[in-house]
A and B are shown apart, each in its own frame.
Chain A
Amino acid sequence: MLSIIHSMWLTFLHMFHKRETIQYPEEKIKLPARWRGRIVLTRDPDGGERCVGCYLCAAACPVDCISLQATEDEHGRRYPEFFRINFSRCIFCGYCEEACPTYAIQLIPDFEMGEFNRQNLVYEKKDLLVNGQGKYQGYNYYKVAGLAIGGKDKGQAENEEPPVDVKSLLP
């Protein structure tokens, strides 16, 4: 009997607490920056596609919902010819982001992706690529890689010597 009264008293007190319920969708939830929501492909500070088509995200994906095909532009820069994520399979685990060596693939705090038709959950590159750097500012993979691309020849990356002169006899 006493415990029932105690419980009712506690419930009564809750009327004066701060409300936890959010009036979604009128009111939006504030999510931390590292929330694992919708996946985007970002660009480097110079506006180039960050994704180099290395397939590591696809390999890391436990549900195998990422597929892509790498290709090259005429100057040797790798980028994905197509990049497809099947969000109806995605479990938002974030392994792809962890695996990405170029910070291209990122999970962002957006979860509003509901669809009536499952087919619409298949996102292609045009749906994934955004015009910004996302969470990781300032990183440009090709500036640290040894590969020469358009606008960056051998020896012009960060922390690189100029190319060796094979014919030189100097010590």
Chain B
Amino acid sequence: MATLYIDNQPHEVTSGHNLLEVCLTLGLDLPYFCWHPAMGSVGACRQCAIKVYKDENDKKGRLVMSCMEPVTNNQRISITDAEAKEFREQIIGWLMTNHPHDCAVCDEGGSCHLQDMTVMTGHTYRKFRYKKRTYKNQNLGPFVNHEMNRCIQCYRCVRFYKDYAGGKDLDVFASKNKVYFGRHEDGTLESEFSGNLAEVCPTGVFTDKTFKQHYTRKWDLTMAPSVCQHCSLGCNTIAGERYGSIRMITNRYHGEVNGYFICDRGRFGYEFVNAPDRVRQPVMYGKTVGRDEILNEIKKLLKESKVIGIGSPRASIQSNFALKELVGKNNFYHGVPENEHDMAELAIQILKEGPVRTPSLKEVENADAVFILGEDLTNSSPMLALAVRQAARVKPMAEAAQAKIPDWHDYATREFVQDKNGPLFSATVHDTKLDDIATEKYYAAPDEIARLGFAVAHRIDPSVPDVNQYSEDLKKLADRIAEGLKKAQRPVIISGLSSESVSVIKAAANVAWALNKTNKNTGLVLSLLECNSLGLAMMGGGKLDGAFNAIFHSHADTAIIMENDLYRNGSTATVDKFLKMCRQVIVLDHTPSPTMSKAHIIIPAGTFAESDGTLVNNEGRAQRFFQVYEATDVIQESWRWLLNMGVNAGNERMSQWKNFEDITKAISEEEPMLKGVETITPPANYRIAGQRIPREPHRYSGRTSMNANINVSEPKPPEDPDSSLSYTMEGYRGLAPSSMIPYFWSPGWNSVQSVNKYQEEVGGHLRGGDSGLRLIEADTNKEPNYFMSVPEVFYPIADRLWIVWTHHIYGSDELSRKSASVAQRVPKPYLLLNPSDAEQLKIAEGQPISFEVEKHLYELPVRINKTMPQGVAAMPYALEGMPATGLPAWGFLKKT
């Protein structure tokens, strides 16, 4: 702690920060551009100038850039000093000499940091009489729009894109007052995090291109706190709606999970909500019907027939629980393939019963050694890859700290660190985007990766069985990895389900457990496949095959399938047979699927935007997402439909549940692993000063006009029975509880930078603690119960290929790929082959290859990849029209 005198007022502040951070933490308004809490200071923009005084007798002081000056005890500074103020105003004046007269047509307007800072400094008139500089723009692909005229040369974009996210194709060109931020030529930005440029850029140079297509000002959006639905990490987002369609997803700061950034799949994958082919009306036997007809028909079916329910890992725990309750415990099946089901249960067993804690993304960022087993993180869990990228800098940064360079001093630390990276060991099937920072890279078949894991674990703790017959190279590699991990203070082992290999996960657990014996700060991260995979697995229920068998053996004749495309999760032949044998197929979903096309009754469910729900992310953190806007009377949350069905059919228990809270309480009581989920947000009757928290900013416009074309008398605004958020602009304007911040705004801070005002300390936790409840906490003093079965050596077999999945950030996720912008980035199906295999098969890049896997014939063009191990081939996971199950398996080559 240090005492800092700001304008002669003493303040207690934490040391180790720079003056700008400290001033912002204290809630003082000080303008800045180039500094970013996640990226540190470079002192480029000169905007945050303040006066520093030598002592209390010093009346003159000297101007310094507050972002470049560390806090010292008894320091005296002034923000309001006339000279400092004039300096800041002049800086803005210069920055604005070339800024175009664009605000009216700029997407950033109304949430623009440059606007805010201009108002804050008091600069009002452009005194520069000469001509404005202009630039040509570039086409940067479907996600990001480029308008270079607006640039103020703060360098934040390249610092984020290159330095923070490891992108290679955005840079700064030319010199002097001609500097240009863009690509070397027009083309799609390659980084998976390019969408963050829209938030990082303090003005409108980089903006969200999908938002531009249905443009709305930030103040006109109805916004709600949401949780990303497109992978298992559970990044917090804000979803904004206008005129009944979702317009934009932005990052919602969370101190433990996603921090300041989200990936492009999460940011741009929302458009499936607005898709023209969304299911919007209930359909019964080919006819569009009303609510009551559906409910009565289902009442009849529930009475007359034996009904099973198939849940979904992409539906909330409330929806899955309601289905379980409606059909009965023994008739509820998880809608995931057997392998995935088993692996999710294994993951829970490892995390819950093992001695190693699973860290949050923020903790992964602070790890000083990382060992990745079998996961292509950039494609399966993108934000985890970004966290690993930061972790690789931890060790060199510690060296910089020893040289007395503070960690926020970005330019100096980068000069000191140069290209050095901390220990990052990566064992994957083929090359990944993290390879550029990896200390050790190992490409092998999943079983071989698991064997490496066992070998490393054996070296750390000899009670783990050693691997037989392995090469000298592998031995040395295992030695180096074990050594690197043992030296680390906070090692993190990362694995996951995308390798579809139980032994890889077990190997990862062994390594983490072995390390934990000597180092209690070890972490183990297991990434899963869907947004609620872990929540569903915590709930208990049968496997999908059980559901199939129930119908095949006539234990049941009717199936309710909720938010699940069975063709994704089972083989085509089995699912065909299943759907055929069901007397009635009831599908509850929001997006059309092949399963839905065979349903007898289709019920329109709400997407995340029209639903309240709770998801459990890979960390075991239960997080709530809120309904953004009230949909029509027939589009409702799946759980509400199921509740309506239950009540209508006379289910006594369900009749007692009136809203979201009742059902969540029931989950907490009944499901031991989900105990406490009702506590993650304040109850629905929670009010601040007697008021709800508004979803709409106080400048929200058009209330008396937006529906006037339908009826000039305004309808009553909908009321939210499930939460204490309101659908209007009236309500409490102060800080909302951290779990239900609908948008970030503070007087004078209209842009996303206002998040500073919501944090306890800049870049730290949200006020009142970060949201969510960790449901799994490991006991680190427990003795590990190692997995003892080491997999056998993988031998390639002639005329066969061991085919594994490879994940794609764009395409492997069922919902985000329906988004028009994401769809442009989805690859065509292919088979990834090793060059020597390709040579043996006499096949060249792009030529088709035929093979049979599990009685399914594929013909795919070949892509050749030098890093693929011999005898192994990879196929993209779950692209449109392709299954997400059945692999890894032997593929039998067909002669063509």
- A residues apposed to B, CB below 8 Å: 52-56, 58-59, 61, 63-72, 78, 84-86, 88-89, 101-102, 118-119, 121-122, 124, 141, 144-148, 154-155, 159-169, 171
Contacts and interface: CB of A to CB of B under 8 A. Distances in A.
B132 interface: yes
A93 to B, nearest CB: 14
Contact of B174 (A56, A101, A164): A164
B686 interface: no
22 contacts: A54-B104, A55-B701, A58-B701, A59-B217, A64-B701, A64-B705, A67-B706, A70-B215, A84-B709, A88-B712, A101-B103, A119-B711, A119-B712, A146-B100, A146-B147, A147-B100, A147-B102, A160-B131, A161-B133, A164-B174, A167-B173, A167-B174
A159 B131 contact: yes
B699 interface: yes
Contact of B104 (A52, A159, A167): A52
B553 interface: no
B124 interface: no
B101 interface: yes
B238 to A, nearest CB: 19
Contacts of B176: 171
Contacts of B220: 55, 58-59
A171 to B, nearest CB: 8
Interface in B365-418: none
Contact of A64 (B102, B135, B178, B703): B703
Contact of A72 (B173, B174, B178, B212): B212
B708 A145 contact: no
Given A70-B215, A84-B708, A119-B712, A59 B132 contact: no
Contacts of A154: 134-137, 149
Interface string B185-221: 0000000000000000000000000001011110110
A105 to B, nearest CB: 12
Contact of A164 (B100, B101, B178, B243): B178
B105 A54 contact: yes
Nearest to B178: A164
Contact of B178 (A155, A160, A162, A166): A166
B842 to A, nearest CB: 45
A124 to B, nearest CB: 7
A66 B702 contact: yes
A95 to B, nearest CB: 11
A159 B706 CA distance: 39
A89 B704 contact: yes
Contacts of A160: 131-132, 134
A66 to B, nearest CB: 6
Contacts of B110: 55, 59
Please list the 4 inter-chain residue pairs (A to B) with the smallest Cβ-Cβ separation, ordered nearest first.
A146-B100, A67-B702, A58-B701, A54-B104
A54 B174 CA distance: 33
A101 B104 contact: yes
A160 B147 CA distance: 15
Nearest to A143: B101
A59 B219 CA distance: 8
A146 B149 contact: yes
B858 interface: no
A148 B214 CA distance: 19
Contacts of A147: 100, 102, 105, 147, 149
B708 A122 contact: yes
B150 interface: yes
B701 A67 contact: yes
Contacts of A122: 705, 708-709, 712
Interface string B164-180: 00000000011110101
Contacts of B703: 64
B276 to A, nearest CB: 17
Given A67-B706, A146-B150, A162-B134, A61 B178 contact: no
B109 interface: yes
Contacts of B105: 52, 54, 78, 145, 147
A169 B704 CA distance: 57
B705 A86 contact: yes
Contacts of B132: 146, 159-161
B704 A86 contact: yes
Contacts of A65: 702, 704-705, 708
B100 A58 contact: no
B219 A163 contact: no
Secondary structure type dominating chain B contacts: loop
Contacts of A61: 701
Nearest to B242: A69
Interface in B591-607: none
A54 B109 contact: yes
B208 to A, nearest CB: 14
Contacts of A121: 712
A164 B702 CA distance: 41
A166 B173 contact: yes
A156 to B, nearest CB: 9
A87 B711 CA distance: 13
A148 B136 CA distance: 9
A145 B712 contact: no
Interface string B732-748: 00000000000000000
A154 B150 CA distance: 12
B709 A124 contact: yes
Most buried by A among B109, B147, B149, B217: B149
B274 to A, nearest CB: 14
A86 B712 contact: yes
Contacts of A67: 701-702, 705-706, 708
Interface string B132-165: 1111110000000001011000000000000000
Contacts of B708: 65, 67, 84, 86, 122
A138 to B, nearest CB: 16
Given A54-B109, A59-B219, A147-B105, A164 B134 contact: yes
Most buried by B among A70, A72, A118, A171: A70
Most buried by B among A85, A145, A165: A145
B105 to A, nearest CB: 5
Contacts of B100: 145-147
A66 B701 contact: yes
A118 B216 CA distance: 28
B180 to A, nearest CB: 5
A52 B180 CA distance: 27
Interface in B688-731: 699-706, 708-709, 711-713
Nearest to A162: B134
A65 B707 CA distance: 10
A161 B708 CA distance: 46
A52 B105 CA distance: 7
Contacts of B178: 164-166, 168
Contacts of B147: 146-147
B601 to A, nearest CB: 36
B104 A141 contact: yes
B705 A85 contact: yes
A68 B243 CA distance: 10
Given A69-B243, A159-B131, 9 more contacts: A58-B701, A67-B706, A84-B706, A84-B709, A85-B705, A102-B104, A145-B101, A164-B133, A166-B135
Given A54-B109, A69-B243, A154-B134, A63 B704 contact: yes
B584 to A, nearest CB: 42
A166 to B, nearest CB: 5
A84 B712 CA distance: 11
A121 B711 CA distance: 11
A145 B134 CA distance: 11
A53 B104 CA distance: 8
